[in-house]
A and B are shown apart, each in its own frame.
Chain A
Amino acid sequence: MTEFNHHNSVAPSAATEKYLLEVRDLSVVFDTAEGTLGVVDNVSLKVQAGRTLGLVGESGSGKSVTCLAALGLLPQRGRVTSGDVMFEGRDLLKLSEAEMSDLRGCKIAMVFQDPMVSLNPVRTIGWQISESLRLHQNLSKGAARRRALELLDLVGIPEANARFGEYPHQFSGGMCQRAMIAMAIACEPSLLIADEPTTALDVTIQAQILELLSQLKTELNMALILITHDLGVIAQVADDVAVIYAGRIVEEAPVLDLFDAPLHHYTQGLMNSLPRVDRKVDRLSTIGGAAPPPQDFVPGCRFAPRCSHCDVSCAGERPEFQNVGGARRVACRHPMTSGG
């Protein structure tokens, strides 16, 4: 333990200071009946203070597992096999469970996809919001209640006083998600991880929640990691984007650059296969096949079997995640050129 405490007192190095959170070469495996499956493979992510990183990928791509691993919340059969997660100068993977508990819900908070499932059905909304205040900030019951009422107000729940004593089943889906967000921001975290926070909601409510997250981000000067499968949400909210495919980050770029000129063929394919409400196309272009499950990952580039630009070199070694100017990185041997 002393070693870690010592580590805390060391001033963060120049390299880590730039980022609030830096995930470096994180790999996660799951032990299953069929053997050990590599679910996340050498993933690196950087989040700057006060900015929004969008992490976009299809189901099973490892986007949620990456964040769960960073917070030490992996299910029992999951293990981190390599990498580190630097947050404010400390490696989260080396912290004890007690130290992590102090951090989670306080400095780093998380909002999950299904608010109905994440909330405790037998406790009132007010109790659940006050809980983290009493635990992390040692507030008295009265003070925690007052702060919880402020928070309900802040996330746009009307008649906070009346709703404080209600149970989750008395809330609509959108209101539950607002309550979840109130819980998450209770201790004014510097980083909020939102895992598909609007996927279970209707579009009009989704727009309200996204608006709320952006507004809170500015007010509390909070960084946000937004995990989603929806490129539309990414385009509307993110500052920087990381695209994940089959357990690896394939592309990373500021949001405008990414949408103006995607470099990875997967990113391009994903964008082309989206139907859009603002324009009419005759036929959607598609990516052949489907994203592979971990047991079917191929050596070399994992997108190669679905890629129209692959050649023999793609099947051999893993493509390097290389810098290509600006803040852009791509893991492809034959990246898209501006001409397409």
Chain B
Amino acid sequence: MNKPANIKPDVLMEVRDLVCHFPVKRDGLFGKRRVAHAVNGVSLDLIAGETLGLVGKCGCGKSTLGLLVLNLISPTSGSVLFRGQDITRTNKKEWRRLRSEMQLAFQNPLGALNPRRTIGAQIREPLDIHQLGDPADRHKTVLDMLEAVTLPEHLLERYPHQLSGGQQQRAVIARALIIGPQLLVCDESVSALDVSVQAQVVNLLADLQKKLGLSYLFISHDLSVVRHISSRIAVMYLGRLVELADSEMLIENPMHPYTRALISAVPVPDPRARTSRATIGGEPPNPFNPPSGCAFYSRCPHADDKCRSLIPEFRQIGPQHMVACHHAEALAQTS
């Protein structure tokens, strides 16, 4: 896993200074038009074959980022390069070809499946759309895919509501993977599942990655799952990345005060390790009106005047370790 630093690993996707602002309804008829700063200048690389975990609280912009990298919504500014090609500026034909390289699995599988079509028809649909193979080939591909996601064949003729939650999520994954994408964006894909079923789907994702050489952008609020599945983790707060590192490094040696708070707030299933839960107080600021300096300063125990006025740069602090905090070096010494 540890490649020598001088060899640039195979970058599948580069996100550069991505910004996405949503205009939202006015305050009343003559009120000011408000703008939600959902994603506010995010840059990151996704390396082929890796799982990049993206964590943050709900409303921090992580799902918006997931939609942006798939070009399902257009950015206000910035670019997304997929194998060097900017997908935000492609023509329709090119985009159609590129799209089969990247797919999405949503949180709520029942919402993502069409309630009036059989599972089999829905898993086959991407093949029909992209006109891959003749009908007999397509059927064979569907059966292979079913086996890969460990769904029994008799479910092909069933409707989504007849499946359990875990089976529905497997069907969604099968439909996403059937045209052989390179990248799968998993947006809270296991969050709605019960613990015992969640573990099955997490293992399935790991197996499929090994078998098919997939890259995942794994978006979740659950740091325990993200740690388990990811090779690297990016932490997002109010539209910006605050930390990005190898997952072991991030958990064992977090640099940003928000990452630290996040890790210590995760309830550990061990009653002998009852932490003091020395957590941060307060509530996250409003995305309509982000603070002038560091977005975290109002909740940060280490904040000073510099944090209040100056947005910290997302900078390298160690090998493959990025952080956006003015005081990261000083904090590293205190812990």
Which A residues have a C-beta under 8 Å from some C-beta of B? Answer: 58-59, 172, 174-175, 202-208, 210-211, 229-236, 238, 255-256, 259, 269-271, 273-278, 280-281, 283-288, 290-291
Inter-chain contact B221/A202, CB cutoff 8 Å: yes
Chain A residues near B151: list those with CB within 8 A: none
Chain B, residue nearest A292 (CB): B164
Chain B, residue nearest A56 (CB): B195
Which B residues have a C-beta under 8 Å from some C-beta of A? Answer: 57-58, 164-167, 194-200, 202-203, 206, 221, 223-225, 227-229, 248, 251, 261-275, 277, 279-281, 283
Chain B residues near A210: list those with CB within 8 A: 267, 277
Inter-chain contact B274/A275, CB cutoff 8 Å: no
Q: A290-B196, A291-B194 are in contact. Are A232 and B268 (CB under 8 A)?
A: yes
Q: A59-B194, A202-B221, A269-B196 are in contact. Are A276 and B269 (CB under 8 A)?
A: yes
Chain A residues near B274: list those with CB within 8 A: 235-236
A-B contacts, 6 of them at CB < 8 A, read A211-B277, A270-B196, A276-B227, A277-B251, A284-B203, A290-B196
Inter-chain contact A235/B268, CB cutoff 8 Å: yes
Inter-chain contact A277/B227, CB cutoff 8 Å: yes
Q: Which of B203, B269, B280 contacts A286 (CB under 8 A)?
A: B203
Residue from A204, A206, A232, A269 whose CB has the most chain B CB atoms within 10 Å:
A204
Chain A, residue nearest B228 (CB): A275
Chain A, residue nearest B258 (CB): A204
Chain A residues near B221: list those with CB within 8 A: 202-203
B222: min CB distance to chain A, Å:
8
Chain B residues near A269: list those with CB within 8 A: 196
Q: Which of B227, B273, B283 contacts A175 (CB under 8 A)?
A: B283
Chain A residues near B267: list those with CB within 8 A: 203, 206-207, 210, 230, 232-233, 235-236
**Bound complex: CA of A283 vs CA of B265, how far in Å?**
24
B254: min CB distance to chain A, Å:
11
Chain A residues near B206: list those with CB within 8 A: 283
Chain A residues near B165: list those with CB within 8 A: 290
Chain B residues near A290: list those with CB within 8 A: 164-167, 194, 196-197
B202: min CB distance to chain A, Å:
6
Chain A residues near B199: list those with CB within 8 A: 273-275, 284-287
A198: min CB distance to chain B, Å:
9
Inter-chain contact A231/B248, CB cutoff 8 Å: no
A49: min CB distance to chain B, Å:
21
**Bound complex: CA of A232 vs CA of B57, how far in Å?**
18
Inter-chain contact A208/B279, CB cutoff 8 Å: yes
The secondary-structure label for the interface of chain B is: helix
Q: Which of A204, A236, A274 contacts B195 (CB under 8 A)?
A: A274
Inter-chain contact A286/B196, CB cutoff 8 Å: yes
**Bound complex: CA of A225 vs CA of B205, how far in Å?**
36
| 9 further contact pairs, Cβ within 8 A, besides A206-B265, A287-B196 | A58-B196, A202-B58, A202-B221, A235-B271, A256-B271, A275-B202, A278-B268, A278-B270, A290-B197
A80: min CB distance to chain B, Å:
26
Chain B, residue nearest A257 (CB): B271
Chain B residues near A273: list those with CB within 8 A: 195-196, 198-199
Inter-chain contact A256/B272, CB cutoff 8 Å: yes
Chain B residues near A204: list those with CB within 8 A: 57, 261-262, 265, 279-280
Inter-chain contact A259/B194, CB cutoff 8 Å: no
A211: min CB distance to chain B, Å:
6
Inter-chain contact A231/B273, CB cutoff 8 Å: no
Chain B residues near A238: list those with CB within 8 A: 271
Chain A residues near B223: list those with CB within 8 A: 203, 277
Inter-chain contact A280/B265, CB cutoff 8 Å: no
Inter-chain contact B227/A255, CB cutoff 8 Å: no
**Bound complex: CA of A256 vs CA of B270, how far in Å?**
8
Inter-chain contact A58/B194, CB cutoff 8 Å: yes
**Bound complex: CA of A87 vs CA of B209, how far in Å?**
54
Chain A, residue nearest B166 (CB): A290
**Bound complex: CA of A235 vs CA of B275, how far in Å?**
11
Q: A236-B274, A275-B225, A277-B251 are in contact. Are A231 and B283 (CB under 8 A)?
A: no
Chain A residues near B202: list those with CB within 8 A: 275, 284
A57: min CB distance to chain B, Å:
9
Inter-chain contact A274/B283, CB cutoff 8 Å: no
B192: min CB distance to chain A, Å:
9
Q: A280-B227, A283-B203 are in contact. Are A255 and B277 (CB under 8 A)?
A: no
A296: min CB distance to chain B, Å:
10
**Bound complex: CA of A151 vs CA of B283, how far in Å?**
20
A253: min CB distance to chain B, Å:
11
Chain B residues near A232: list those with CB within 8 A: 224, 266-269
**Bound complex: CA of A178 vs CA of B166, how far in Å?**
33
Inter-chain contact B248/A280, CB cutoff 8 Å: yes
B4: min CB distance to chain A, Å:
23
**Bound complex: CA of A275 vs CA of B272, how far in Å?**
18
A210: min CB distance to chain B, Å:
7
Inter-chain contact A259/B203, CB cutoff 8 Å: no
**Bound complex: CA of A290 vs CA of B195, how far in Å?**
10
Chain B residues near A211: list those with CB within 8 A: 277, 279
Chain A residues near B57: list those with CB within 8 A: 202-204
Chain A residues near B194: list those with CB within 8 A: 58-59, 229, 290-291
Chain A residues near B270: list those with CB within 8 A: 235, 259, 278
Inter-chain contact B228/A281, CB cutoff 8 Å: yes
Chain B residues near A203: list those with CB within 8 A: 57, 221, 223, 262, 265-267
Q: A58-B195, A229-B194, A290-B165 are in contact. Are A207 and B269 (CB under 8 A)?
A: no
Chain B residues near A287: list those with CB within 8 A: 196, 199
Inter-chain contact A231/B279, CB cutoff 8 Å: no
Inter-chain contact B263/A277, CB cutoff 8 Å: yes
Inter-chain contact A274/B262, CB cutoff 8 Å: no
Chain B residues near A207: list those with CB within 8 A: 264-265, 267, 277, 279
Chain A residues near B58: list those with CB within 8 A: 202
Q: Which of A202, A275, A278, A286 contacts B273 (CB under 8 A)?
A: A278
Chain A residues near B200: list those with CB within 8 A: 286, 288
B111: min CB distance to chain A, Å:
16
B166: min CB distance to chain A, Å:
5
Chain A residues near B251: list those with CB within 8 A: 277
